[in-house]
Structure 1
Amino acid sequence: MSKINRSISTKDTSILIANAGGRCSYNFNNDICNKVLADGRVNLGERAHIIGVNGPRSEFKTNDLELNGYENLIWLCKDHHAIIDHPTNLNVFTVFELHNMKSRHEQRVRTGRLPYFGTETSVQDYASLCTLFLFLDIHALYGNVASFPRIHINFYDVEDMYEAYCMDNPPSLSLFEPLLRDRFDRFINCYFDLANHLRGLPNIKEDQFSGWMEKQFDQVSYQKVVIYLESVESLISIIDQRFPQILQQDVYNAFD
């Protein structure tokens, strides 16, 4: 019996990663991964076989199919590789569906619908934001002041966490992509403007148990809150487009 060749060439690997934009290709119904897996130096993804060498979907092998060639491979993260190959999912992730999945993802890359992917700087941007929002709840940025004149004491955590990050990573949180950097800079400037302003307002009510306090209402304060909330929405929107997994990550809890 001839030995099965399991090697995948460097050329096919390079084409696969490049066409996937360095991101996980998994997209099924409304579930899209897009996780950044390559930066030109380090590859964290996996080359998954659409038709297996002797594993999942291997019954569809044909004599003219190059099993280890680009056409039979899809670039995935470790988790989604395991999902498509799980025995209970083989009737869902068929050969036809995986080819379509790969095609949809690569089409998004070619048409610029994933405009920032697979570069050294994109991974660095992801790492910077991921680290900051590991300790700061990104989903609370809006809610802590959205019911102004009621605000939550955790609103001021942004300042503490951002300054702690900058102390360890001088001089500031560095983002390389211009639009992403502009959105973040606008957010942080609006935050400090609002935080400094709110500190100067007297507390009308304060519940130390829940952390909520009520400030004195005035139109100037209200407009500053609106401007800040717009900057939060703008930042979260671009993070969702670039690095959606940041919105899904758990916030670090030292007591867990």
Structure 2
Amino acid sequence: MSNSITSSVIKKLYGLSAGKCNICKISLFENEVHVGEMAHVIAKKSGGARGDALRINDNSYDNLILLCANHHSEVDQNPEHFTVDLLKAIKKEHEDFIANSTDFSSFAANKRESDIVFLNAYFYYTPFFRMLSFLSDLPYRHHIYLLEFEDQFENILKDLPFSYPLNDESLQKNFENFINAIKMLDRILCGYIEHNGRTICIFDSANNGYYCKFNGSDLPFDKADLIEDEIYKVKDALYFSYRELISYIRMYYPEVKMSSPNF
């Protein structure tokens, strides 16, 4: 492997990233001064961040990510969080966005508009911005509006059948992770168990405040504990995917309205 980063690799790295930090998106040129840093995904030395004895001094394009000085330090000081896979995903997401946003063909514009129409429709018919307050009630109760997220997704698929999957691959991945977590939660919220010849719903019917209470008193003790543990796991997955989706849309789709007048 080359002991230095070649000019062709530098040009490719800066070109595909549009001269911006792949994390915070700031320009890496200030008053004609270059402030960018080419960070190694796998460290140059085996003892460095994400080091690998089999990948020493790898200065290839695939092993580099363009960052500002602050994020270069953060990435190397927190290798447990900024893993090899995460850094590669961040790089791909950024470069894909640059490629899409600099493609001025009518076909590319139509694909982006299709994604925006789908997102605006979904957020208009769901209480998306109330998600965190809904999650805070689990596992002891849930608001019936939590069931709207999967229902409206299925409805929009019928109304806009050619809009999904989304054209932006990174957007599709984030949205799919969110929907999959919603589906896992719905299976629990609407679930039941059979016990001693009885069918016991995991949650009671909604009260006048539109809340459904966890049916822990009727469920077998061991089953109730297992279900609570599962709710916490799914709740964490949904929280993470929700935050990731919001961050991506705010960064790349500022024209999308994530709040709804209906809720």
Give the alignment's TM-score, normalised by structure 1.
0.48
* TM-score, structure 2 as length reference: 0.47
